[in-house]
């Protein structure tokens, strides 16, 4: 592994576009936190929200359609508003190497407009990473459903989608946290998701990492998960790595088997070679030898004795990432019916072959029996009783609906 000290400023042009209210808030937080090396854009249907934005470039979406009053929590309105301003969006993004689209999903503008912006980035050939938050459960099922639909739309357009489930922030903020602080925590996580990637490209560090390295991991990577670990003291490296791979935002999903991993180790200049080895070895151990692991180290003297490890795992199985809650319901569905099905169907009288005595005395029914057996065997040689097994599964949707309710 080659190490070099990075003196020169990166020529990579990176832009962050915050879409909708949550996206605009996240951009303000990044600006306040002095995120280095990126240009900020905000796009919103709400003219009042744009007025308080600290971004250097502001785009009012759908001024004719919404009159600057917002999208009314309707993603279709958000989409139509963005389509009204495609030329302006394209002009703002066209010279970029990489674009981060950040938004809160579930409402109107972010959910509806972000996929339109992603489509423009795709047309321009820009590496595009969407970092979007899912709504809190108390915001209602409709917003949750709209968020999932929006994420599904993004998955087919962007290179990488990082989802931040807001409900998981409770594990970071603790009980009794004020609501306003919880939303600030959501903005902070969106900020760290972007910072963990941009710092690798833009900031000085010991490990030479460039835009091409990041592009290798994140281009056409699909859904991604992020974990952050912070620790101090003698064992800070291994502890920070452990916290990163068991982070609440990982939604109980292991990063083992990830196709690609982007890892950023951030600390002061007193980091030792042993610490870098410990942290990286722990991540390697978790994801396995087949993953493409891109890692770097950046300096931040403000951390003092603390070390921060940011891990972004890409290319994990689609089902595991996009629907962990549905998967947990489906697991017993797959396991439990499988056991009784075989003996139950095999004991079914109508499915056994007729005896010679029955054939002699039951001539009218015999052809029916032969046709059913032959057709079942031809359609699925592994299971002659396929049609009866399918009829039993008709009860499962009702069961699942009751579980979900």
Domains recognised in the chain with CATH numbers: 10-203 (3.40.50.1440), 223-335 (3.30.1330.20), 338-404 (no CATH)
* pLDDT, tens digit (0-9, with 9 covering 90-100), for 310-355: 888 888 754 433 333 322 223 333 333 334 444 444 444 444 555 6
Q: Identify the burial level of 301 via C-beta atoms within 10 angstroms of its C-beta, where 0-12 means exposed, 13-18 middle and 19 or more buried.
A: exposed
* Whole-structure pTM value: 0.72
- Tell me if 25 is assigned to a ligand binding site: yes
* pLDDT, tens digit (0-9, with 9 covering 90-100), for 292-321: 888 888 888 889 999 999 888 888 754 433
- Tell me if 74 is assigned to a ligand binding site: no
* pLDDT, tens digit (0-9, with 9 covering 90-100), for 161-212: 988 888 887 777 777 888 888 888 888 888 888 888 888 788 767 775 778 8
- Tell me if 240 is assigned to a ligand binding site: no
Phi-psi region of 251 (alpha: psi -120 to 50; beta: other; left: phi over 0): left
Cα distance between the two ends of the chain: 53
Structure tokens at 169: 């922030």
- Tell me if 187 is assigned to a ligand binding site: yes
Between CA 20 and CA 111 the distance in angstroms is 8
* pLDDT, tens digit (0-9, with 9 covering 90-100), for 34-84: 888 899 999 999 999 999 999 999 999 999 999 999 999 999 999 999 999
Closest by CA to 287, choosing from 314, 252, 325, 319, is 314
Please give the order of strands across the beta sheet that includes 38-44.
57-60, 38-44, 14-19, 98-104, 127-134, 160-165, 222-231, 307-314, 260-267, 292-299
- Tell me if 70 is assigned to a ligand binding site: no
- Tell me if 143 is assigned to a ligand binding site: yes
- Tell me if 47 is assigned to a ligand binding site: no
Between CA 19 and CA 103 the distance in angstroms is 5
Give yes or no for residue 146 having a pLDDT over 90.
Answer: yes
């Amino acid at each position: 592994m080659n190490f070099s000290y990075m003196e020169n400023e990166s020529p990579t042009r990176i832009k962050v576009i915050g879409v909708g209210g949550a996206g605009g808030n996240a951009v303000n937080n990044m600006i306040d936190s002095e995120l280095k090396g990126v240009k900020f854009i905000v796009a919103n249907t709400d003219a009042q929200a744009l007025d308080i934005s600290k971004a250097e470039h502001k785009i009012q979406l759908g001024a004719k359609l919404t009159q600057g009053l917002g999208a009314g929590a309707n993603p279709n309105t958000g989409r139509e508003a963005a389509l009204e301003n495609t030329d302006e969006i394209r002009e703002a993004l066209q010279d970029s190497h990489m674009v981060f689209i950040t938004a809160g999903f579930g409402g109107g503008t972010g959910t509806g407009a972000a996929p339109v912006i992603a489509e423009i980035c795709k047309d321009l050939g820009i590496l595009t990473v969407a970092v979007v938050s899912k709504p809190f459960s108390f915001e209602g099922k409709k917003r949750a459903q709209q968020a999932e639909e929006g994420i599904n739309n993004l998955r087919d357009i962007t290179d990488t989608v990082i989802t931040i489930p807001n409900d998981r922030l409770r594990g970071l903020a603790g009980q009794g946290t004020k609501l306003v602080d919880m939303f600030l925590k959501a903005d902070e996580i969106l900020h760290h998701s972007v910072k963990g990637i941009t710092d690798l490209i833009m900031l000085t560090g010991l490990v030479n990492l460039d835009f091409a390295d990041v592009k290798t991991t994140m281009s056409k990577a699909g859904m991604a998960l992020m974990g952050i670990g912070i620790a101090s003291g003698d064992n800070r490296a291994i502890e920070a790595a452990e916290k990163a791979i068991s982070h609440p935002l990982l939604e109980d999903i292991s990063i083992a088997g990830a196709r690609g991993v982007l890892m950023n180790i951030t600390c002061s200049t007193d980091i030792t070679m042993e610490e870098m080895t410990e942290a990286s070895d722990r991540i390697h151990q978790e994801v396995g030898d087949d993953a493409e692991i891109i890692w770097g180290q950046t300096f931040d003297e403000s951390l003092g004795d603390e070390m921060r490890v940011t891990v972004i795992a890409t290319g994990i199985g689609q089902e595991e990432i996009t629907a962990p809650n549905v998967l947990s319901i489906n697991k017993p569905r797959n396991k439990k019916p499988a056991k009784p099905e075989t003996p139950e169907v095999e004991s079914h009288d109508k499915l056994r072959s007729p005896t010679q005595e029955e054939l002699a005395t039951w001539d009218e029914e015999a052809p029916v029996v032969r046709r059913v057996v032959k057709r079942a065997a031809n359609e699925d040689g592994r299971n002659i009783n396929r049609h009866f097994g399918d009829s039993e599964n008709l009860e499962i949707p009702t069961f699942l609906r009751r579980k979900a309710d």
